[in-house]
């Protein structure tokens, strides 16, 4: 199965390019202490708002800090927000969707109405309200994004389990005395995760974009810690004086990262869809 999906995924060249970009960005983030040319927190008053040069490939910011180094270290935070937030949302979504789909009736009705209620809340305003009460921090952002973005995953898992629970292998597991917990998480759920992988890939892109937006508004990662969003924010006040690099490079990093995750998500969706297998596409 994995081999078939990978062969089909490779046919989509844009998705392969997106996966390559993601692997490069993740590798650079992991190796940040090695590949970053400068300490991202060191202030150099003699090189304030310096344009890109051989010494500072992406220039320096308003405090003389190397933009390239801050972007490399900032990639760690931006990617961590995406991965942790999606991990939280997938965990919540899988549990609620699995319980609703497997037990049905009253359990399904209660859980799905809860999903509908959560969908009624404007996510951004809910996040802003919680941050205003608790205060901005990287962990608060991760948890809030994760706990406000699980509803689509729950619906996907529920829909898959509603069809899978009627299969013969579930009846066989019941016949040998398997518990509900074992049937759900050992037999049914592994067969229902294909659309979840696609949703997770797209969710990472959305979480990175949301974190960047919050940081741009000053409600995300707080200085002196670096993320692509707050690097972009620090540069917006200097665009009018010709310091284009302070906003251009982090903006491009966000653009290409989000685009790459979306391309990978599209490729996975096409590769996993069994209807395309049958049509020979």
* 3-class secondary-structure state, position 60: strand
pLDDT band at 73 (very low <50, low <70, confident <90, very high): very high
Instruction: Give the number of domains in the chain.
Output: 1
pLDDT reported for residue 92 = 93
Residues whose CB falls within 8 Å of the CB of residue 271, separated by 6 or more in sequence, listed in order: 5, 6, 8, 9, 12
pLDDT reported for residue 89 = 92
pLDDT reported for residue 104 = 83
**Distance in angstroms (rounded) separating the CA atoms of residues 281 and 271:** 10
Residues whose CB falls within 8 Å of the CB of residue 191, separated by 6 or more in sequence, listed in order: 160, 164
pLDDT reported for residue 105 = 85
Measured in whole angstroms, the distance separating CA 16 from the mean position of its chain's CA atoms is 18
pLDDT in tens, 43-59: 888 888 888 988 888 88
**Distance in angstroms (rounded) separating the CA atoms of residues 235 and 245:** 8
**Distance in angstroms (rounded) separating the CA atoms of residues 104 and 175:** 20
pLDDT in tens, 232-258: 888 877 887 788 888 888 889 989 999
Q: What domain range includes position 153?
A: 2-279
pLDDT in tens, 128-171: 888 888 877 788 888 888 888 889 899 989 988 888 888 888 88
**Distance in angstroms (rounded) separating the CA atoms of residues 44 and 245:** 17
Asked if residues 76 and 32 have their Cβ atoms less than 8 Å apart, the reply is: yes
* 3-class secondary-structure state, position 270: helix
pLDDT reported for residue 17 = 93
For residue 65, which phi and psi values (nearest 5 degrees)?
-80, 145
Q: What is the CATH number of the domain that holds 123?
A: 1.10.3720.10
pLDDT in tens, 194-205: 788 888 888 888
Strands (E), 136-196: none
**Distance in angstroms (rounded) separating the CA atoms of residues 3 and 9:** 10
Asked if residues 49 and 243 have their Cβ atoms less than 8 Å apart, the reply is: yes
pLDDT reported for residue 281 = 52
**Per residue in 32-51, is it b (16+ CB within 10 Å) or e — as a string?**
beeebebebeeeeeebebbe
Asked if residues 101 and 115 have their Cβ atoms less than 8 Å apart, the reply is: no
Higher pLDDT, residue 12 or 4:
12
User: Side-chain half-sphere of 49: how many Cα atoms within 13 Å?
Assistant: 13
Nearest to 227 by CA among 202, 244, 210: 210
Higher pLDDT, residue 90 or 281:
90
Judge if the upstream peptide bond of residue 189 is cis by omega within 30 degrees of 0.
no
**Distance in angstroms (rounded) separating the CA atoms of residues 201 and 158:** 19
């Amino acid at each position: 199965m994995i081999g078939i999906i990978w062969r089909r995924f490779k046919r989509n060249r844009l998705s392969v390019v997106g996966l390559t970009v993601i692997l490069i960005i993740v590798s650079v983030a992991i190796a940040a202490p090695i590949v970053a040319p400068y300490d991202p927190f060191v202030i150099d008053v003699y090189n304030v708002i310096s344009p890109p040069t051989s010494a500072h490939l992406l220039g320096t910011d308003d405090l003389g800090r190397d933009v390239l180094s801050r972007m490399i270290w900032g990639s760690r935070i931006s990617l961590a927000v995406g991965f942790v937030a999606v991990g939280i949302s997938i965990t919540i979504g899988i549990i609620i969707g699995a319980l609703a789909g497997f037990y049905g009736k009253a359990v399904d009705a209660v859980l799905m109405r809860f999903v509908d209620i959560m969908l009624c809340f404007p996510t951004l305003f809910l996040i802003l309200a919680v941050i205003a009460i608790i205060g901005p921090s990287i962990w608060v952002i991760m948890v809030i994004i994760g706990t406000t973005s699980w509803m689509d995953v729950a619906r996907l898992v529920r829909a898959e389990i509603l069809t899978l629970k009627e299969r013969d292998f579930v009846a066989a597991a019941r016949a040998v005395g398997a518990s509900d917990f074992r049937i759900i998480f050992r037999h049914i759920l592994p067969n229902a995760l294909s659309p979840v992988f696609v949703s997770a890939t797209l969710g990472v892109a959305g979480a990175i974009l949301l974190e960047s937006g919050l940081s741009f508004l000053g409600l995300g990662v707080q200085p002196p810690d670096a993320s692509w969003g707050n690097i972009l924010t620090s540069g917006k006040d200097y665009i009018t004086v010709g310091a284009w690099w302070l906003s251009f490079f982090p903006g491009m990093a966000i653009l290409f990262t989000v685009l790459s995750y979306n391309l990978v998500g599209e490729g996975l969706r096409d590769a996993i869809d069994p209807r395309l297998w049958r049509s020979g596409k």
